[in-house]
Structure 1
Amino acid sequence: ERWFSREYKAANPAQVAAIRQVLASNDLQGYHTTYSLFATQDMYRASDLGSIQVPTLIATGELDSGSTPAMTRQLAARIPGAHSVVLAEQRHMMAVEAPREVNKMLLDFLT
């Protein structure tokens, strides 16, 4: 439910199962190390964000509980000129569930 809508899971069980298998096959030590960093290093080099001088897009889904819209806006506020986009009704795997919307967002930003 955190990653996909119920409708998407019901309509695409094979794809969801394949993604689940890929994630379940991750190296356990690497996964543990990565999540330990996520849990303890959120502010690592945060003071450097203001020095980013390239166009920056920060995006998430409206219903993403792990990378929330508030987090997206807060991060964008720390990077000069950054754009934040929140895709309506999307969750964490928005690039899989809504590729057209994600591609449009990216193309709009790049142009």
Structure 2
Amino acid sequence: MIKKSLEENQEHILAALPAEFHKSFKAEMAAAPDSLDVSQGDTMENIKTELHYHPDVDATVIGEINLEAHKPAPPLSEAEQKVAMEEELKNTLSEIEAQS
């Protein structure tokens, strides 16, 4: 996939690169892997591998990655919902009084 993408976009890439980089680009394209196998294994290791290939990211961001961030927060209990609604009602009433 990587090599195929480079080959498909070679004309556009070379047009954007100064001529002195054409030879090194072609060498890197020839050495590029066909694809990265990140479908299996440790998720954090897969992320590190992907970041290695991203030119604008350094490895210091690894510590900030939360692998659970995409999961929804657990729902509030009935008691917690009631407390939150009462608090919101108090805030709303105080705002109404402040505007009067």
TM-score range normalised by the length of the shorter chain:
under 0.3
Structure with a larger share of its residues in helix: 2
Q: Name the TM-score, length of structure 1 as normaliser.
A: 0.22
- For normalisation by structure 2, the TM-score amounts to 0.24
